[in-house]
Structure 1
Amino acid sequence: MEAQSLEFKRLLRFESFREAWCHYGYGTDQQELIQKEFHRIKGITYLDHAGTTLFPDSQIKEFYQDISRNVYGNPHSHNPSSRLTHDTVEHVRYRILEHFNTSPEEYSVIFTSGCTAALKLLADSFPWRTGSDGEPGSLLTYLTDNHTSVVGIRGVTAPLGVITLPVTPKDVESRAKNHPQNDAEAKKSEPTPHIFCYPAQSNFSGRKYPLSYVRGIQSRCLYPACDYEGRWLVLLDAASFVGCSPLDLREHPADFVPISFYKIFGFPTGLGALLVRNEVADMLRKGYFGGGTAAAYLAGENYFVPRSSVISRFEDGTVSFFDIISLHHAFDTLHRLTGSMVKIQNHTFGLAHYTYIVLSSLRHNNGEPVAQIYCDTEFQDPSTQGAILNFNLLDSHGNIIGYSQVDNLASLFNIHVRTGCFCNTGACQMFLGISNDQAKKNLQAGHVCGDNIDLIDGRPTGSVRISFGYMSTFEDCQEFLNFVVKCFVDKPLRLDQERLARLKVPVPLKDSSPCQPTAMPNAPLVHQEREQNSSPAPITGAYTEGTVSKPDQKAGEAYTLTNLFIYPIKSCAAFEVTEWPLGPRGLLYDREWMLVNENGVCLSQKREPRLCLIQPSICLATKVLSIHAPGMDTISIPLEMGEEKTVSTMACQSKVCGDRVQTVNCGEKISAWLSEFLGKPCRLIRQNPDFTRDMKMGSGQGNSPSALSLANEAQYLMINKTSVSLLQDQISKRQDESNGVKPFDIQELIHRFRANLVISGITPFEEDDWLDLTVGSTEFKVVGKCGRCQMIGIDQSTGTRTLEPLRSLSEFRNGKLTFGVYLAHKSLKNSSVLSAGSLIRSSMLK
């Protein structure tokens, strides 16, 4: 075990990375670049650059200085400030085309709100031709490995009668025919126009499709163009590709190229472009016309003459000129920091290549692989593979671990990944083996794009994706790989020596020498092999989820309320009481206040774990909320809203679990106190007493909705101490492998689940089956199970993050991250009070 551990440590040294790939950084210390330009990501391992990359500080500073020095007016006017805007925007268009090695003589840049808007613009304006009198109509063809926004073009074409032809990647070249057509003759006959759409880089797997497809389709040498007469045009979706790779449109003259700039620069968002080859620009037609697009029109007659240039015809209204101006500084900064897109490509590919090498070699103690990697390439060549790694993790029995569990645990380590299908259903189905029928059944089972239902009947609905950007570091790879080994490998770790040897990774490490370019190593494809080794038995306890039936219990059997907690400030520490009155929204004053940042967004321990150190307490006699925190003097605010409003009457709106709630600001004094403790601007707000928010859970089937405080889901959360004790046992069993991690105290576990009511039950998880219960004389209904996230991984006494209990809970409950049940009171008397020690009676589901 120790030898394997040392071997893995050697593998994670920078020298091993340089042996596998020599291109790293841009001639300066990469960590210095991070400290100078990206200091805000300190402590964060950001691995979602395919979602959006990060912008450097100097880019924003230079942009701010620009707009602070200059007056930019509406470019549709003719005054000096407007001319400055117009000229600057035109210069930026030139910079964009220069970046793609082309010119205004060859391409036009139409600004849009993003890549999706560019695709919609093309869908709406392309001269689709429907078939009639035996004449074939236009074809919309696309690779099945395309983003949703490309496939969505068929939403426009299908009602027009245009035929849609999905094409698999294998079809394009396997069915090719080498008989290029005569373009000059094709233009004379005005043939039917068709579009072939494909991604320069798959946003799912990172596979780079050959840019030579552009000319191959245009000349009708490749399928499907070789099988269908007409004029074939190419839509090259470059959004994922251009973030880390150079695109030469002079060599690969695609007809339409949609892009989003945040994929390249991180800022601005909400700005993209459709690059249109001038040779085909006149084909595009549009119906709607907005400000700036008309050469002339009449209001009282259906008369309209569009402007002559394709840009002016399609940029309706005033463009987002400040965002466009910021691109000038984005290009300058990117070039200054990196030198070129080729260097970015080499740097990011090297990180992905190395991570692939190590991840694919990891084995559980029984020899089973740790990851199933979804890829079409062997990560050998940056011209065929981008800086994206897509995978699912496997347990030692070969079962896929749900992506939600991986995401939750990654968040505990401040590792930012992406999960799901990434708006690419075609690639997701292909790699995960999801049939069309199965996809429809998943929908019927409640799974929709973007949710956290990661496994249905043990089969994955999505996967995990990591991706690198130009500011990514080798340390990011280290953090990620260490995370995988720590959280998901059954120890002792084993490494696939044959794979490492074939990939020329030095194990054990040899003395490093000056870096010389090395040939790209060979590696196998998708890792799905299984060694026929025995697997350890699953964790078992007094009650094993889904396998051992629960002991019989008589309905109405009595239990005890052992602990009673309120959380006056949402996401802050608990206040334990022995007796407490009930209000219309739950326990009186429970989650009535919350902290928000300077933008009014609710703060939670997921992003600010130190919130657990803020300790509120309430004195009902003096009607005061006191707040304590380490190193701070105690501060108090009144409970009575009338007195509070004398401090500040500013009303505000915030969101809690998607619900818009009306709140009242609690004043500058408490805001300054909290901002000082957290080290960032924040405010304390309180739910407006005149505002009513209805609880969604349990409101169906004739039940009237219950009023809700600032709590997420329900009025009360209840957990069973017996369930906590069982989970404690599971954690203790795992800690035999955890190198001396101290055992979990049961009270510490109770605090992590942040319940209002803690009961003493008889059987673990029996509360899951209860319909209702009575505590003392107060009746409650059970309205649902509580789904858990990475927040239970935060030690409520220190604010530190740990793997447990999330890992053991997920394994013990077969991936179901639920613990505890939500309650709502059935009826409420004016004098209703809950007391610790009260007897509880329940009724169970039959």
Structure 2
Amino acid sequence: MSALNDAIVAFRDTEYPQLKGKAYLDHAGSQLPAASFITAFASDLNTTLYGNPHSTSTPSHLAGARVDAIRARTLAFFNASPEDYDLVFVANATAAIRLVGECFRDHALRARKHAFWYAHHRDAHNSLIGIREFATEHHCFGDKDVEAWLSNPATKPSAAKPALFAYPGQSNMTGRRLPLDWPVRIRATYGNNAYTLLDAAALATTAPLNIDAIAPDFACVSFYKIFGYPDLGALIVRKASADILRHRTYFAGGTVDVVVSDPDTWHVKRKTLHEALEEGTVAFRSIVALGHALDTHKRLYGSMEAVSTHTAALTRGMHAALAGLRHGNGQPMVWIHNEATAMPGDAKTQGATVAFNVLHGDGTLVPYGDVEREADARGVYVRSGGMCNPGGVQKYLGWNGKAMKMVLKAGHGCATPIQVHEGKATGVVRASLGACSVQADVDALVKFLRSQYLEKAASTTTIYIATGAEAELESVSEMNEKATMGKVKRPVGWAKRVMGLAGIH
């Protein structure tokens, strides 16, 4: 147990009163906002007049200045030098991903090449996979494929069109963490026409993000996954790679300096990258909230390094406890999914997540949605399903495209899942920890699983029953007691039987 656990226990009822009597284990979906953060933010809004930053009034100027200051603080939080990186506020990580994809598409159209090369990692979220619809050539890589691509010049994309490789820093399904040296290696191998997009939404939840060291061309985050609020995201952009984003065709209010609509049609975009990409009025009040979130997080937890150490210790214990659950017959109760290289407790290779399925004593699957529903009824909150991670479902649960078409035809879908089809699960149960998690949350999950799904072995005892009609019940009981203590051997004329829960057989 980490040193931070006791400190969190001391303030949790005050800072997270909504957790009293509950075990929240879906931090990969969203962290929870601390009460003092919400109080400080509300007080700020109640006492400070903020106006639309696009105006020039005093309230508007104040709002603009706060946005600029918080943008700089956020870059510092992610260890991104403002000389080398800019930060574009967007709705969420998916919006940041879509923005990059649309910019690459528009760049290809503007260059009249109508193409760009795209590859995503197999462990990618659907939002990353979706970029393939903008590309004319796309690939799905596993770890070995990435290494082969880096070492084999024959697989390199054409220099005539830009290449984009996108991957998650952490699997949103299993929590395993992927290599963070790929962006530097890709740039060293393929030069400035090959770009990397790092989906850091899951990684940044419980790990310090060192953008300067990782050096991706683009990285996306969602702040509600780190702080619980605001519902806001960001695209972090390496300035040396920013030109391709300036080819975005669409423009909106706030992104242009001049627009002419009649009779000529032309426009001039703003020079600062974030101004050219933040469409319409920036979510300035949400950004003000982000400033308070940064303050509160530092006051409560000290640093992301401390959060990482704390959650790594909890994850190691949770993994061990789940892996140790056994039915009475010795068979595992929990089937945990992950790569062999992911080591629970090692923050470099594993995040604060465990993905699993629950098994009956005979090895058949308990439907994952049933587990979530039963857990919910006990005040234990997990997530179940495919996690928008089709690569993970295929790899860990044994599906392929042909089989998925069959189960789809049978009626399976995200909103109406067939949880088990022909003996195979279509999703998992995911338990994920966050900054405010404590050991009691892990204990509650393990207690629920044990009490709900543990199947005790049939209590079997070898006994001896007299075959003659003259045998009395008392003699049977007495002989059974002696036999189970190993004090007698089978007497002549007595038959050996096994006494189980269902009786003598």
TM-score by length of 1: 0.52
3-state secondary structure, aligned to 1:96: helix
C-alpha distance in 2, partners of 1:177/1:408? 47
1:164 to 122, 135, 138: 138
Contact 1:194–1:230 under 8 Å retained in 2: no
Tell me which residue corresponds to 2:176. Answer: 207
**Aligned equivalents of 1:413, 1:56: Cα separation in 2:** 24
Aligned to 1:71: 49
CA-CA distance at 1:136 after TM superposition = 11
Return the offset for 1:176.
4.0
Q: CA deviation at 1:273?
A: 1.0
Query: Partner of 1:54 in structure 2?
Result: 32
Identity of aligned residues (%): 36
Change (3 A) 1:302 1:44: same
Question: Offset at 1:169?
Answer: 2.1
Note if contact 1:191-1:230 (Cα within 8 Å) is conserved in structure 2. Answer: no
Report the 3-state secondary structure (helix = DSSP H, G, I; strand = E; otherwise coil) of the residue aligned with 2:215. coil
Partner of 1:401: 366
Match of 1:273 among 209, 234, 237: 234
Q: Does the Cα contact within 8 Å between 2:329 and 2:456 map onto a contact in 1? A: no
Q: Residue 448 of structure 2 aligns with which residue?
A: 483
3-state SS of 2:456 partner: coil
CA contact (8 A) 2:173 2:392 kept: yes
SS in 1 for 2:365: coil
- Alpha-carbon distance in structure 1 between the residues aligned to 2:115 and 2:98: 20
Corresponding residue of 1:82:
60
CA distances 1:467-494 after superposition (whole Å, capped 9, x unpaired) = 001101100111110111111111269x
Once residues 101 and 178 of structure 1 are traced to their aligned partners in structure 2, the CA distance between those partners, rounded to angstroms, is: 32
Q: Given the alignment, which residue of 407, 415, 422 partners 1:457? A: 422
**Residue 351 (structure 1) aligned with residue 314 (structure 2):** yes
Do the aligned partners of 2:319 and 2:344 also contact (CA within 8 Å) in 1?
yes
- Amino acid paired to 2:318: T
CA separation of 1:176/1:244 partners in 2, compared to 1, >3 Å: closer, same or farther? Answer: same
The one-character-per-residue Cα deviations of 1:312-335 (angstroms, maximum 9, x if unpaired) are 111111011100110000000000
Q: Which runs of 5+ in 1 are unaligned?
A: 1-17, 180-188, 494-535, 540-732, 734-846
The residue matched to 2:329 in structure 1 has which SS? coil
Change (3 A) 1:230 1:91: closer
The residue aligned with 2:198 is 236
What does residue range 282-681 of structure 1 map to in structure 2 within 5 Å?
282-284=243-245, 285-300=247-262, 301-376=264-339, 377-491=342-456
Listed as ranges, the matches of 1:53-132 within 5 Å are 53-126=31-104, 128-129=107-108
Partner residue, 1:195 = 164
| Residues 421 and 463, structure 1, Cα contact 8 Å, conserved in 2 | yes
TM-fit CA distance, 1:39: 1.0
Match of 2:479 in 1: none
TM score, norm. by length of structure 2: 0.86
Q: How much has 1:367 moved relative to structure 2?
A: 1.0
**Conserved 8 A contact 1:368-1:397:** yes
The partner residue of 1:219 within 188, 195, 198 is 188
Check conservation: 2:398, 2:424, Cα contact below 8 A. Answer: no
Give 1:230 deviation, angstroms: 7.3
SS at match of 1:164: strand
Structure 1 residue aligned with 2:462: none
Q: Are the counterparts in 2 of residues 45 and 415 from structure 1 also a CA contact under 8 Å? A: yes
The residue that corresponds to 1:833 in the other structure is: none
CA distance in 2 between partners of 1:398 and 1:438 (Å): 22
One-letter amino acid of the counterpart of residue 217, structure 2: D
Going from structure 1 to structure 2, the CA distance change for 1:129 and 1:136 (only over 3 Å counts) comes to: closer
Q: Does the 8 A contact of 2:123 with 2:391 survive in 1? A: yes
Partner of 1:396: helix, strand, or coil? coil
* Number of equivalenced pairs: 454
Instruction: Please state whether the residue corresponding to 1:216 is helix, strand or coil.
Output: helix
Rounded to whole Å, the distance in 2 between the matches of 1:73 and 1:98 is 26
Distance 2:409 2:21 in 1: 40
Shift of 1:25: 1.4
- Give the Cα–Cα distance (whole angstroms) in 1 for the partners of residues 224 and 66 of structure 2: 20
8 Å Cα contact 1:148/1:424 also seen in 2 = yes
Answering whether residue 226 of structure 2 is matched by residue 264 of structure 1, we say yes
Letter in 1 for 2:269: P
Counterpart AA for 1:204: M
CA contact (8 A) 1:55 1:267 kept: yes
- Offset from partner CA, 1:112-171 (integer Å, 9 cap, x none): 1111111111111125548x99x99531011011000000112222xxxx2011111232
Contact 1:245 1:345 survives alignment (8 Å): yes
Bigger Cα displacement from structure 2, 360-369 vs 327-336: 360-369
Provide the residue aligned with 1:25 in structure 2: 4
Partner of 1:550: none
Q: Deviations over 1:381-403 (max 9, x none)?
A: 11110000000011110111110
Task: Report Cα offsets for 1:462-521 as digits up to 9, x if no partner.
Answer: 11000001101100111110111111111269xxxxxxxxxxxxxxxxxxxxxxxxxxxx
For structure 2, which runs of at least 5 residues remain unmatched after alignment? 459-498
- Is the CA contact 1:404–1:453 (under 8 Å) kept in the aligned structure 2? no
By relative contact order (CA 8 Å, sep 6+), the higher-ranking structure is 2
Specify the code of the residue in structure 2 equivalent to 1:155. E
CA deviation string 1:218-259 (max 9, x = no partner)? 112xxxx6xxx9721110000011010011111111000111
Q: Secondary structure at the match of 1:206?
A: coil
Map residues 691-710 of structure 1 onto 2, 5 A cutoff.
none
- Which residue of 145, 151, 169 corresponds with 2:123? 145
Give, in whole Å, the separation in 2 of the partners of 1:297 and 1:190. 34
Q: Distance in 2 between matches of 1:299 and 1:174?
A: 50
1:469–1:298 CA distance, 2 compared to 1 (3 A) = same
Query: Using a 3 Å threshold, how does the CA distance of structure 1 residues 56 and 537 change in structure 2: closer, same or farther?
Result: farther
1:425 Cα offset (Å): 0.7
Residue identity in the other structure for 1:283: I
1:538 to partner: Cα distance: 12
Partner amino acid, structure 2, of 1:256: F
Preserved contact between residue 24 and residue 347 of structure 1 (Cα < 8 Å): yes
Amino acid at match of 2:96: A
2:22 matched to 1:38?
no
Q: In structure 1, what residue type is equivalent to 2:398?
A: G
Structure with higher Rg: it is 1
| 1:44 CA drift (Å) | 1.2
After the TM superposition, which residues 653-802 of structure 1 pair with which residues of structure 2 at under 5 Å, given as runs?
A: none
In the alignment, the residues of structure 2 paired with residue 363 and residue 378 of structure 1 have an alpha-carbon distance, to the nearest angstrom, of 21
Displacement of 1:68: 1.1
Aligned partners of 2:343 and 2:349 also within 8 Å: no
The one-letter code of the counterpart of 2:234 is: A
**Equivalent-residue separation in structure 1 for 2:307 and 2:43 (angstroms):** 27
Quote the Cα distance in structure 2 between the aligned partners of 1:88 and 1:175. 44
> Separation in 2 of the partners of 1:408 and 1:276?
41
Deviation at 1:286, TM superposition (A): 1.5
1:451: how far off? 3.2
**Offset of 1:299 from its aligned partner?**
2.2
> Residue type matched to 1:469 in 2?
G
Letter in 1 for 2:124: N
Bigger share in helix: 2
Within 1, Cα distance between the matches of 2:275 and 2:398? 46
Distance 1:140 1:215 in 2: 18
